[in-house]
Structure 1
Amino acid sequence: MDRVSIYEYDRKNRERVVKAIEEAGGQILSWSFFAKDQSKFELPPGTLSVFIDLSSLFYNEDRADALIAPAELLLNIIQQEQSVALYVIIERQYSKQVRDLLYYKIDEVLDLEDFLEIEKDPIQNIVDIDQSDFENVLAYLNQNLFGNELFKKRLKEELTKYRLFNRIGQQPIFSVLICGASGIGKTEVARLLHQKLAADEPMIKINFGNYSAQDALNSLIGSPRGYIGSNKGELPDKLMRSRSKVILIDEFEKASKAVYNFFLQLLEEGKFTDSLGREYDLDKYIIIFTSNMPKERIGEFLAPELRSRFSYKCAFWPLSTQEKEQYVAFKSEHYLEKIKHECPGLDSTLQASDIIDIDVSRYSNMRDINSEIMRQITDALYAQIVK
């Protein structure tokens, strides 16, 4: 029996794939284009090739098995059609499933981006960037993260070590556990790294404060198909939607024992499998874990074997009065500079020193200070804004 090759592509590259196909005189069509009558179909005039996308068959994973029959009919059409070049394509996360279901019809799975000669987007990660870019990332973090100078020094040392040992296959993931009170910059570490490495991508953030401990693992990686209330899992879903190589795991102390065991394996192997059997490789990822618990209590919820898996463990301390004042000066100037460029109709002569007056001793949470900076800027510009 003759078999057909299929071409897999990354969902995040779909726009570039469509553009490349159209520029080459091809058409990309969903399998549903053929669903009414698989024996007869007409293609747009001048079509040189057709790429039939099976991906939507698998969007509803509970029905995927039942819908495999139309896919088989499409493969039969491709074997018979001679007037135009036909190709079957599918999003990469579904290729294993279709290959398993139609093993007797599929010869091999090829890379569509390579076939179309698409230069893949350079995915910025902390390992593959050159030394000057690495220094720039750390300089950006140091400039925008106030206080905790020892952390910033140690982070550079640990990341330098990670860049070396990841390249020789010894450390797949760089993980940091940061504990300390709320609002002192823990989550800002992940945000700043993300902004330098993948600013245009959605940030990958999981907050265990939003989970119930009983069902946390299912919420994280999905529940088995057919379970009442089954879901795909927040982590796999966000990994598919973003090229960012930085993950923020917030309020980690609220996770369940099953979740701790999951991360115990993930940090060791650098890979995990979701509830539907799909494997995710997190090689070269940075995972920032935060906890609002003081470091003295970390042992109450994290077992020694999990604590030993973190690449770097540290505690953040509240900022000093001087550091808070430096933050106010930096942030207010930053906001006014952005307003000057983005809102040219507003007064561009305002100076932060003229309008910002904050008694930083009243605040321990940097989010509250930030809100006060924004309020005072708004008050100064209010008459112009309402016009």
Structure 2
Amino acid sequence: MEKVIVYEYDKRNFKEIEKLIEEQDSVIVDWAIFNKKGNEDKVEFSAGTEAVYIDISSLLFNEDRAENLIGLIVPFLNITLENYECDIYIIVDKRYSEIIKNTLYLRISEIQKLEILLGMPHESINNVVDIDEAMFNSMIHHLNSNLFGNDNFKKRLKEELIKYRLFNKIGEQPIFSVFICGESGIGKTEIARLLHNYLTPTEKMIKINFGNYSDENALSSLIGSPRGYVGSNKGELSEKILRSKSKIILIDEFEKASKPVFNFFLELLEDGNFTDSLGREFDLNKYLIVFTSNIKKQDVSKTISPELMSRFNFMCQLNPLSQEDKQNYISYKKNQMIKKIEEKLNIKLNETQMIDIMNIDTRTIQNLRDINTKIMNNISKQIGFR
């Protein structure tokens, strides 16, 4: 049974899409005109029609009924591919792409952008491999400017990413994975957040926290459990990948994962893809996965097997910030917060107030979250909020 490609479109572009398709001597039709015909009957199109774009969106307006209704489209999938001389494309409003993936995953090979197929302008590059050298250097500058301390780590990360960009392009390294350990609150998760915000600032971040998982159900929580099982679910990792165009995945508190989860990532990092409990295939080529852990570097081998450690492209430990780094961070964070207050609340602070906000004794504070709390408390005092 041959699988087909479905092309999703942005409803906001529909008038432009219709015009372009018409200019290409092609037509858009609703799926229902095929459903009215028998399996052996062809739908006739005007002579010279180059392509027919079959829109299945009307099947999916009512999400509660969609899973039952979508079965109506299956019988003509092979008909459309075999019985017509013109090109046939299945298209859908991108708002319903997730439903399509969940219900027709056995018949669909992948979902692509209709705008790209038609040669229309489309979204910017969203991965670390395909950006050009100037944008890559800009991304590294963004990371270095907003991540304080740990200069050796930042240097090594750049070197490893340069190597990854090279070997991914020749098919040797599908995924880049970095394992970062160290004390809580020193910037481990911020690395993934900075990369995500630079490449895809408008998308939801793909973040999995194993501190929220129970050992017994961790793998099912991650990739789902089969249909029909009591308490079945679609899987947090699968769903978040489907809902975001980000190519950065943050796996937080990885040391708390169960053995089946460790084995899952052992295979994922080797193959670059996985299949979830519903049989949906996920190709993670050009994805960057950041694993974080609060354990010390010398204790990593007590929790994670040598086989899994060998799959990580880069392993490191972040060190607590120096006093100078903490003061630089306070200045950076203070300016960031004050700018938002001035823009959104139209509140101006004078130079004396700025100095008072910076008055934080960080000698006994290592956690950046605690420093953030001190900054916020000082700002609140200065502007009179309680």
Distance 1:307 1:30, change over 3 A: farther
What is aligned with 2:56? 52
What is aligned with 2:48? none
CA drift of 1:155 comes to 0.5
Distance in 2 between residues matched to 1:22 and 1:240, nearest whole Å: 27
Assess if the C-alpha contact under 8 Å between 2:30 and 2:54 holds in 1: no
Distance in 1 between residues matched to 2:29 and 2:183, nearest whole Å: 52
Secondary structure at the aligned position of 2:208 is classed as: strand
> What is the number of residues matched between the two proteins?
358
TM-score by length of 2: 0.80
What is aligned with 1:14? 10
2:273 is the counterpart of 1:271: yes
CA drift of 1:307 comes to 0.1
Residue in structure 2 matching 1:287, options 269, 286, 289:
289
Distance 1:152 1:373, change over 3 A: same
2:276 is the counterpart of 1:251: no
What is aligned with 2:301? 299
Distance 1:29 1:185, change over 3 A: farther
Deviation track 1:292-349 (CA, whole Å, cap 9, x = no partner) reads 1111111111110100000100011111112111111121122212322333x21254
Which amino acid is the alignment partner of residue 216 of structure 1?
Answer: A
CA drift of 1:363 comes to 1.2
Correspondences of 1:1-387 after superposition (within 5 Å): 8-10=6-8, 14-16=10-12, 18=14, 20-21=16-17, 51-53=55-57, 56=60, 64=67, 67=69, 69-71=71-73, 88-90=90-92, 91=97, 94=100, 98=104, 100=106, 112-343=114-345, 345-350=346-351, 352-382=354-384
Which amino acid is the alignment partner of residue 347 of structure 1?
Answer: K
Assess if the C-alpha contact under 8 Å between 1:175 and 1:310 holds in 2: yes
Distance in 2 between residues matched to 1:110 and 1:151, nearest whole Å: 37
Assess if the C-alpha contact under 8 Å between 2:274 and 2:281 holds in 1: yes
TM-score by length of 1: 0.80
Distance 1:318 1:38, change over 3 A: same
CA drift of 1:112 comes to 3.4
CA drift of 1:381 comes to 1.3
Deviation track 1:83-111 (CA, whole Å, cap 9, x = no partner) reads xxx97434388469648569xxxxx9986
Distance in 2 between residues matched to 1:110 and 1:284, nearest whole Å: 16
What is aligned with 1:44? none
CA drift of 1:120 comes to 2.9
CA drift of 1:8 comes to 1.1
Assess if the C-alpha contact under 8 Å between 1:54 and 1:71 holds in 2: no
Which amino acid is the alignment partner of residue 9 of structure 1?
Answer: Y
CA drift of 1:227 comes to 0.7
Distance 1:116 1:210, change over 3 A: same
Which runs of no fewer than 5 residues in structure 1 stay unpaired? 40-47, 80-85, 103-107
CA drift of 1:70 comes to 2.8
Distance in 2 between residues matched to 1:49 and 1:298, nearest whole Å: 54
Distance 1:171 1:60, change over 3 A: farther
Distance in 1 between residues matched to 2:318 and 2:252, nearest whole Å: 14
What is aligned with 1:45? none
Assess if the C-alpha contact under 8 Å between 2:59 and 2:69 holds in 1: no
Assess if the C-alpha contact under 8 Å between 1:252 and 1:290 holds in 2: yes
Distance 1:376 1:55, change over 3 A: farther
Assess if the C-alpha contact under 8 Å between 2:185 and 2:367 holds in 1: yes
Distance in 1 between residues matched to 2:59 and 2:350, nearest whole Å: 54
Distance in 2 between residues matched to 1:295 and 1:109, nearest whole Å: 41
CA drift of 1:234 comes to 0.6
Distance 1:192 1:150, change over 3 A: same
Which amino acid is the alignment partner of residue 348 of structure 2?
Answer: D
Which amino acid is the alignment partner of residue 52 of structure 1?
Answer: I
Assess if the C-alpha contact under 8 Å between 1:38 and 1:74 holds in 2: no
CA drift of 1:76 comes to 11
Which runs of no fewer than 5 residues in structure 2 stay unpaired? 38-51, 82-87
Distance in 2 between residues matched to 1:182 and 1:30, nearest whole Å: 54
Which amino acid is the alignment partner of residue 148 of structure 1?
Answer: N
Assess if the C-alpha contact under 8 Å between 1:208 and 1:249 holds in 2: yes
Distance in 2 between residues matched to 1:28 and 1:356, nearest whole Å: 62
Distance 1:101 1:340, change over 3 A: closer
Assess if the C-alpha contact under 8 Å between 1:54 and 1:88 holds in 2: no
Distance in 1 between residues matched to 2:78 and 2:126, nearest whole Å: 41
Assess if the C-alpha contact under 8 Å between 1:267 and 1:310 holds in 2: yes
